[in-house]
Chain A
Amino acid sequence: MGESKPLPVVDYLKIPEDSEPYLEGYRCKKCGATYLGQRNVCSKCFARDNMEVIKLSNKGTLHSYAVVYRSFPGIDVPYISAIVDLEGGGTIKGNLVNIDPDPDKIEFNMPVKVIYGDALGRKDKEGNSYLSYFFEPA
């Protein structure tokens, strides 16, 4: 099991055979609203069957965050829960890493990049590893 390819942590994280992992979005061709994961109808403009599949950018800016000190048992704290606006559309939430979890050091609108790595060693019941995404200062 340990040798097998990791699984994506969410269904909108794509792991191609022959290229780098990326995040996939669905964009409304009518109004441009961008969604994580598959959509058939746009909840912004209500257009039906007018979605295109897009590769989301790995560049973005920090919109908001919180520093989490108390989480569920077994989860390492503190960590930064971050909301990131991706270049070209799409907003995504995840852990901001490789920076002190200190509000004095975290700047709103700071450029970040999306990076991919093992899901903090978490495995499912079958022992499968997972690939996750994170943010780090760009």
Chain B
Amino acid sequence: MSDVYVMGVDMIKFGRFPDRSVPNIGAEAALMALDDAGLGIQDMQALYCGNLGQANAMVGQRILQEIGQTGMPVVNVANACATGATAFREAWMSIKAGMYDVVLAVGVEQMGKGLLGGAGGGDGIPKEGLLGSGTMPCVFAEAGMEHAKEHGTTFEQFAKISVKNHHHSTMNPKAMYQIETPLDEVMNAEMISYPNTKLMCSVNVDGSAAAVLVSEKKAKELGMARAVKVRASAMASDPYTDRDLVMPDVNACTRLAAKDAYEQAGIGPEDVNLVELHDCFATAEMLHYENLGLCKDGEAGKMIDEGHVNLGGKVPVNVSGGLLSKGHPLGATGIANIYEICTHLRGEAGKRQVEGARIGMTHVIGLGTACGIHILEKTS
């Protein structure tokens, strides 16, 4: 099977674009990624397009209607917040399978404002606030409190994650926000679901990201200088655990995918130089330090207390600003994370550059549940 390389990758600056259409937002990133690869839409053999909000509305084909209707096969994918990573992974698989040499993956989302989620739909009466809460800040607060129960993790430690990611975003011109948020500001912000304050919740934004994936043969033909090798592409659904059906288990799913990813790449967590992981809420990021093996179980609080996950630390996490400050356009996030890692591996990340980065990891969780993990490696 051919190795697969990212030859072009880019994202738009995340923001709010209520006057634009979803395909129009997606088309912008697609053209940017094509330019980055030095290729045109006519060179693409297939398109995998990730979008959640219009999952039934042929977003991929409508992107091509804006930038070039070549007649190539288009597959639209939806997989909750793992949607972008799923589109990327489908593109990767199609090259692995020997079907294609040059494939485009696009992730795009246009978001409303406000709370996502909600307990129990269906017949009868609304269940939100009656049978607990199904809002996302609450669901991830419950997951964080489970960590607090097992390991004594504190509200302040969760809040520090938000301070870190907001700080990182001040160095990322493509992030939605570039604003420092000191610890007292994070902790005193409006409480949404304890222990997540408003500044510990990801930002609902519009955005898009895209990648051009190529086979080894094609990469050699185009030139390896800026190519990034995909060392692993792993995906897991939620395995059975005792509480999963009532309290979505993002831990078991991540551990399953991480094990697979490390095995594919033939490396361990100690070999990873930087990570973009799914900080949909500050409480979520804490769990994944352990789930991804960046530290031992029970040591996540220490990771943030001692600065190991800061830019300049042992394994910087979310130097892009993460979903907390860069923003979280659901379908775009999984490819935007890949853009961030590739930018570091190419040595093009400017002020937030992780020096000497050779191997990076991306991680996303779509609740319900899907986990997508990619390991990427510098080639030159």
A-side residues, CB < 8 A to B, are 7, 9-10, 33, 35-36, 43-44, 63-72, 75-77, 79, 81-83, 85, 91-95, 103, 108-109, 119-120, 122-124, 130, 132-133
Interface code B106-129, partner A: CB below 8 Å = 1, 0 otherwise? 000000000100111001111111
Asked if A122 and B125 sit within 8 Å, CB to CB, the answer is yes
CA separation between A91 and B243, bound complex, in Å? Answer: 6
CA separation between A81 and B145, bound complex, in Å? Answer: 11
CB contact list, B158-206 vs A, under 8 A: 190-196
Asked if A95 and B245 sit within 8 Å, CB to CB, the answer is no
Asked if B115 and A71 sit within 8 Å, CB to CB, the answer is yes
- With A64-B142, A64-B145 as given contacts, are A95 and B247 in contact (CB-CB < 8 Å)? no
Asked if B138 and A66 sit within 8 Å, CB to CB, the answer is yes
Asked if A68 and B142 sit within 8 Å, CB to CB, the answer is no
**CB-CB nearest in chain A for B117:** A72
Pull 10 A–B residue pairs with CB atoms less than 8 Å apart, ordered by A.
A36-B246, A44-B240, A68-B194, A69-B194, A70-B135, A70-B137, A72-B115, A91-B246, A132-B130, A132-B131
- With A43-B240, A69-B192 as given contacts, are A81 and B133 in contact (CB-CB < 8 Å)? yes
- With A64-B145, A64-B149, A130-B124 as given contacts, are A91 and B115 in contact (CB-CB < 8 Å)? no
CA separation between A58 and B250, bound complex, in Å? Answer: 28
Asked if A95 and B124 sit within 8 Å, CB to CB, the answer is no
B132, CB-defined interface residue at 8 Å:
yes
Q: Which of B125, B135, B143, B190 contacts A68 (CB 8 A)?
A: B135
Contacts of A35 in B (CB 8 A): 245
B242, CB-defined interface residue at 8 Å:
yes
CA separation between A109 and B195, bound complex, in Å? Answer: 18
B9, CB-defined interface residue at 8 Å:
no
CB contact list, B211-260 vs A, under 8 A: 240, 242-243, 245-247
Shortest CB distance B225–A (Å)? 48
Interface code B347-368, partner A: CB below 8 Å = 1, 0 otherwise? 0000000000000000000000
CA separation between A62 and B126, bound complex, in Å? Answer: 24
Asked if B193 and A122 sit within 8 Å, CB to CB, the answer is no
Asked if B138 and A64 sit within 8 Å, CB to CB, the answer is no
Asked if B194 and A10 sit within 8 Å, CB to CB, the answer is no
List the 10 closest pairs (A to B, CB-CB), nearest first. Answer: A66-B141, A81-B132, A75-B129, A67-B194, A122-B125, A108-B149, A81-B133, A44-B240, A93-B132, A64-B146
CA separation between A123 and B146, bound complex, in Å? Answer: 33
Asked if A93 and B135 sit within 8 Å, CB to CB, the answer is no
Contacts of A79 in B (CB 8 A): 129, 133
Interface centre among B127, B132, B146, B148 (most CB of A within 10 A): B132
Contacts of B130 in A (CB 8 A): 9, 94-95, 119-120, 122, 132
CA separation between A82 and B127, bound complex, in Å? Answer: 14
**CB-CB nearest in chain A for B201:** A70
CA separation between A55 and B72, bound complex, in Å? Answer: 56
Asked if B124 and A9 sit within 8 Å, CB to CB, the answer is yes
Shortest CB distance A130–B (Å)? 5
Contacts of B119 in A (CB 8 A): 93
